[in-house]
Structure 1
């Protein structure tokens, strides 16, 4: 999936390229704030990196609801995430907000990133010794997900 404001990339993200594309797109809107958050894979627990599965239909719906929320505050949200393997010390996640006022952008980026971690349909795996191991202990149940009985 690729649109300018919601992007899914295979493997590690090209942070500078993605960031600069968004910056160049929005810098002339006369907004006072452009904030990005970049997530970087840490070298810990003897992992070689992380791997991700993305369920794009739900992600698109989740993202569209955030675009509407941001629009009500005259702001814009944007997001890029990796699918597949991402090695340590590279990025799998970039989120951003552009708004006329800094306070709106600062509050929205915090809410947006936290809600993403809680509700985005992305599953994380550890990469260890060439194997992909589901990171169940660091995963969260998505609200509304589950098997209907």
Structure 2
């Protein structure tokens, strides 16, 4: 399940939908990661730009990889502005056993942070400022020679 939302995520609603879908899958563990915007350095919100086609391709690669292990993956992310205290990212792994699920949710989130085509901006005093110091250069990005 891959979902992009405008603005903050409604975590209880999304989680309930994922849980309902997982109830018929005969799995023992549904593990989630919820990213929440925090107030660092007087940030009032974060704003996200997404290349949805590339993000979907990244997700589909993970989905196929995990499917071979009998594991399902869930993903929701915000585009646009998300205020402090609100969620912008929710990821989930559904697996037969918790140990595998715990490893995979960590691997998924770390790979997301390194490779997802999402650009993050701090919002301070109504201005969007690219969060360069918290960004990772995407493999293959840039001007071709």
Shorter chain as denominator, the TM-score bin is: over 0.9
Unpaired stretches in structure 2, ≥5 consecutive residues: none
Determine the C-alpha separation between the residues in 2 that align with 1:57 and 1:81.
Answer: 14
Q: Which runs of 4+ in 1 moved over 2 A?
A: none
Of 37, 42, 47 in structure 2, the residue corresponding to residue 51 of structure 1 is 47
Matched, 1:42 2:38: yes
Q: After superposing the two structures, state which structure 1 stretch, 136-145 or 116-125, moved more.
A: 136-145
Determine the C-alpha separation between the residues in 1 that align with 2:104 and 2:123.
Answer: 32
Match of 1:22 in 2: 18
Aligned length: 145
Match of 2:56 in 1: 60
Contact 1:73/1:104 (8 A) holds in 2? no
Determine the C-alpha separation between the residues in 2 that align with 1:143 and 1:33.
Answer: 32
TM-score normalised over the length of structure 1: 0.95
The alpha-carbon deviation at position 137 of structure 1 amounts to 1.0
For 1:22, what is the secondary structure of its paired residue?
A: helix
RMSD: 0.6
1:1-149 pair list within 5 angstroms? 5-149=1-145
Determine the C-alpha separation between the residues in 2 that align with 1:124 and 1:117.
Answer: 11
Determine the C-alpha separation between the residues in 1 that align with 2:23 and 2:137.
Answer: 37
For 1:29, what is the secondary structure of its paired residue?
A: coil
The alpha-carbon deviation at position 102 of structure 1 amounts to 1.2
The alpha-carbon deviation at position 42 of structure 1 amounts to 0.5
The alpha-carbon deviation at position 76 of structure 1 amounts to 0.4
The alpha-carbon deviation at position 104 of structure 1 amounts to 1.5
Unpaired stretches in structure 1, ≥5 consecutive residues: none
Determine the C-alpha separation between the residues in 1 that align with 2:23 and 2:86.
Answer: 26
